Structure 1
Amino acid sequence: MGKVAVLDYGMGNLHSVASALNKVAPEAEVVLAQTPEQAEDAERMIVPGVGAIRDCMAGFVDAGFAPLLRDVIRAGTPVLGICVGMQIMMHHSEENNGVDCLGVFSEPVKFFGNNIPPTQSAERLKVPHMGWNSVQQTQSHPLWADIADDSRFYFVHSYYVPANNNPDIAGQTEYGVSLAAAVARGNIFATQFHPEKSAEAGLQLLKNFVSWNGRV
């Protein structure tokens, strides 16, 4: 399974991700990469993320990971984004009064509190969204292998990528609005949920990733 680089830009659940990877793929070389040089020869790459988007973008760019990510995407290297690691690949986020993201995907990142339906009170829709939600698989993908449709995954977030009219959506869930639980394009797969915290379904997704060749 080769080398798997988990990008360390100071804003991720690195050790939880690495521990989960070691569990599902003990033969893989898991590296917490703090520089592009430590990650550039990886056969697979994971972009984690926890925290505010402005700090995450600053840390990612300052570490030199933005051009690295674009290079490995062009090269066909399998990439997995997790939580804010998915959001930084979007076009723009409403968080922190608006932050431009990497633009790998064209979709926006929106705040739950601005999108509560008229029939639903703020008390019913708590922000952040924290807990287990079932995920509908909206496209066939190698990372869904051996994972039942509507399996439950663990979410922690206050901002989301809309599901409606989203050409890259791979998994969808509902939390007052329809949101993208996962997006996919080519050799990129990214999840709003935390697979490393999602019990057997999450571990299976990570197992699928470390054996994925980046093709669908």
Structure 2
Amino acid sequence: MTDKIALIDYGAGNLHSVHNALKAAGATGVSITSDPDAIAGVDRIVLPGVGAFGACCDALMAIDGMVDALEQRVRHGGVPFLGICVGMQLLADIGVEHGTHHGLGWIGGTVEAIETVSPDIKIPHMGWNDVQVRGDAPLLENGEAYYLHGYHFDVTDKADIAATTRHGETLVAAVARNNILGVQFHPEKSQRYGLEFLARFLEWRP
């Protein structure tokens, strides 16, 4: 795979695990970058994320010009984009973890705490669980993937939901709109399922 792929470094992702998974899936042109100017020439963008919504959002927006560069390349340039875990949640309008924080607003919705009334349902949602594809969602297949999150994406337009999982309640496992795809699970920790998913992302021509 010779596409130039930007793996965005904003201090809030397990970059090396994602980088290694992309390489294992067939990518050869992956660069870890925090330089907005480098975004203009890439063919694909991956935004990882681990931690609290607000902290991740602040870290991303603290890089001068990064959000504008992503907007230009993804929303206007149409390059394939993948958000992973909090990187997916940042697509939302708002996150309410430790206060109210504005996200990128690319896919409408709010990131809220997972709630459960059953003591058998542990929070955070951690470990292997199903991925149930909805409709003709791009790249995704039914299977099992690895999750680790205490907050979930409550999506405004249900047509943007690409897959769900079940943990006490139905939770969004993936969102998709045009060239934008986000997954709540960690493909880099999801073994064969995750690598096969990343391989499809590397071939995706939305």
Unmatched tracts of structure 1, length 5 or more:
none
Task: Describe the superposition over 1:43-90 as per-residue Cα deviations: whole angstroms up to 9, x where unpaired.
Answer: 000010001111111110111321112111211100000000011110
Which stretch shifts more, 133-142 or 4-13? 133-142
- 2:107 matched residue in structure 1: 105
Residue 139 of structure 1: how far off its partner (Å):
2.4
Q: CA RMSD in A?
A: 1.5
Counterpart residue identity of residue 22, structure 1: K
- 2:73 matched residue in structure 1: 72
Cα distance in 1 for partners of 2:69, 2:11 equals: 17
TM-score (norm 2): 0.93
Contact 2:84-2:185 at 8 Å conserved across structures: yes
Identity %: 38
- 1:37 matched residue in structure 2: 37
Matched, 1:23 2:19: no
The 5-angstrom pairing of residues 53-64 of structure 1 reads 53-63=53-63, 64=65
Cα distance in 2 for partners of 1:5, 1:13 equals: 14
Task: Describe the superposition over 1:115-170 as per-residue Cα deviations: whole angstroms up to 9, x where unpaired.
Answer: 32xxx33x2221111011111100223412xx4x2x00000001001368622000
2:153 to 138, 161, 165: 161
- 2:49 matched residue in structure 1: 49
TM-score (norm 1): 0.89
Cα distance in 1 for partners of 2:138, 2:89 equals: 22
- 1:136 matched residue in structure 2: 132
- 2:166 matched residue in structure 1: 174
Unmatched tracts of structure 2, length 5 or more:
none
Which stretch shifts more, 95-104 or 41-50? 95-104
Contact 2:163-2:173 at 8 Å conserved across structures: yes
Cα distance in 2 for partners of 1:15, 1:25 equals: 15
- Paired residues, what number? 203
Task: Describe the superposition over 1:18-37 as per-residue Cα deviations: whole angstroms up to 9, x where unpaired.
Answer: 001111114x2110011112
Q: Secondary structure at the match of 1:209?
A: helix
Which stretch shifts more, 37-46 or 157-166? 157-166
Counterpart residue identity of residue 137, structure 2: H
Cα distance in 2 for partners of 1:187, 1:161 equals: 19
Counterpart residue identity of residue 10, structure 2: Y
- 1:5 matched residue in structure 2: 6
Task: Describe the superposition over 1:161-190 as per-residue Cα deviations: whole angstroms up to 9, x where unpaired.
Answer: 136862200001111121110000000010
Contact 2:93-2:104 at 8 Å conserved across structures: yes
Cα distance in 2 for partners of 1:165, 1:53 equals: 21
Matched, 1:91 2:93: yes
Counterpart residue identity of residue 170, structure 2: S
Residue 198 to residue 14, structure 1, CA distance change in 2 (3 Å)? same
Residue 184 to residue 10, structure 1, CA distance change in 2 (3 Å)? same
